[in-house]
Amino acid sequence: MAESSPEKDITVNRKARHEYFIVQSYEAGIVLVGSEVKALRLNRANLVDSYAAITNGEVWLMNANISVYDQASINNHDPVRKRKLLLNKSEIRKLIKAVSEKGGALIPLRMYFKNGKVKVELAVATGKKQYDKRQEIAKRDLNRDMQRKLK
């Protein structure tokens, strides 16, 4: 009997790895309401164009879209509200230092369940230039061609 993984992906921000160089990643908890968790269990989330901001020593997830949960009726949530991320003070200090450097940004890479709790993988990233993206695509195509020839 195969042992199941304790992590189950909800959504992955594939665009982030194309647009940014990932310097370091952190695991953060997230403050949610009940209807958001139920919507996440149905994989109704989108991290494209979302980012994290640090205000008053707290980290907030902005522009993350968690669709409304139809059965929640009047107690539903705002789909794109800002949500607080839960990190240690030392981790927040490191994030502040990393973001203050030129070109630093906080980007969510993925949202997943870990032991029944919703977690966000948050990355310190720097933006790629257009030629970096082209080089990456060319390298991927070259690897794909080599794999085809080896078969």
Query: What digits encode the pLDDT tens for the residues 112-150?
Result: 999 889 999 999 988 888 877 888 889 889 999 999 988
Number of domains, the chain: 1
Residue 85: domain span: 7-150
pLDDT at 15 over 80: yes
| DSSP conformation class of 82 | -
Q: How far apart are CA 95 and CA 100, in angstroms?
A: 8
Longest dimension (CA), the chain: 58
Q: For residue 46, is it within any domain?
A: yes
- Classify 61 as helix, strand or coil: strand
Q: Which residues contact 146 (CB under 8 A, 6 or more apart)?
A: none
Q: How far is the C-alpha of 94 from the C-alpha of 87, rounded, in Å?
A: 11
In a domain, 1, yes or no: no
State the pLDDT at residue 3: 52
Instruction: Give the CATH number for residue 20.
Output: 2.40.280.10
Query: What pLDDT digit, counting tens, does each position of 70-89 carry?
Result: 887 777 877 888 999 999 99
Establish if 2 belongs to a structural domain. no
pLDDT digits (tens, 9 = 90+) for 45-72: 888 889 899 999 899 999 988 888 888 7
Query: Does the model's pTM come out above 0.85?
Result: no
